[in-house]
Homo-oligomer: A and B are copies of this chain.
């Protein structure tokens, strides 16, 4: 790849991630499917769950309960990988989450979804920290 082509591919990866967030938030299931490779793999490291294939992954999102919304905070990308930092909320419940994407030839082939739950801090560092 020349430097110019690399730069175009990077921009394309970021645009695909932005489109993913927007179509998911908008329940645009056919538009979402257009961004995904037929053999896309979706993984959730916290629960060790994996979903194989575009149709099952779209179904997973379509069936996901609640009036959830996705609000992108930051999108980063290079020629192959993209990441989405986003606020996710349903009703009064809001949390930050992170998704990583692998993109090949304009299609998402892998999604890794980190859903970090809140927890209490370990003791022994209160002399350095404040809480919010």
Chain A interface residues toward B at CB < 8 A? 7, 44-52, 56-57, 59-60, 63, 65, 74, 76-78, 81-83, 85, 96, 98, 100, 114-121, 124-125, 128-132
Q: Enumerate chain B residues within 8 angstroms of A114, measured Cβ to Cβ.
A: 96, 98, 114, 116
If A49-B129, A51-B129, A131-B50 touch, whether A74 touches B100 (CB-CB below 8 Å) is: yes
Which residue from B51, B76, B82, B125 sits with its C-beta under 8 Å from A81? B76
Nearest chain B residue, comparing its CB with the CB of A121? B47
Q: State whether A59 touches B116 (Cβ < 8 A).
A: no
Known: A65-B124, A74-B81. 19 other contacts (CB 8 A): A44-B121, A45-B116, A46-B118, A47-B120, A47-B121, A49-B131, A50-B129, A50-B132, A52-B130, A57-B128, A60-B128, A63-B125, A63-B128, A74-B83, A76-B81, A83-B83, A83-B85, A114-B114, A114-B116
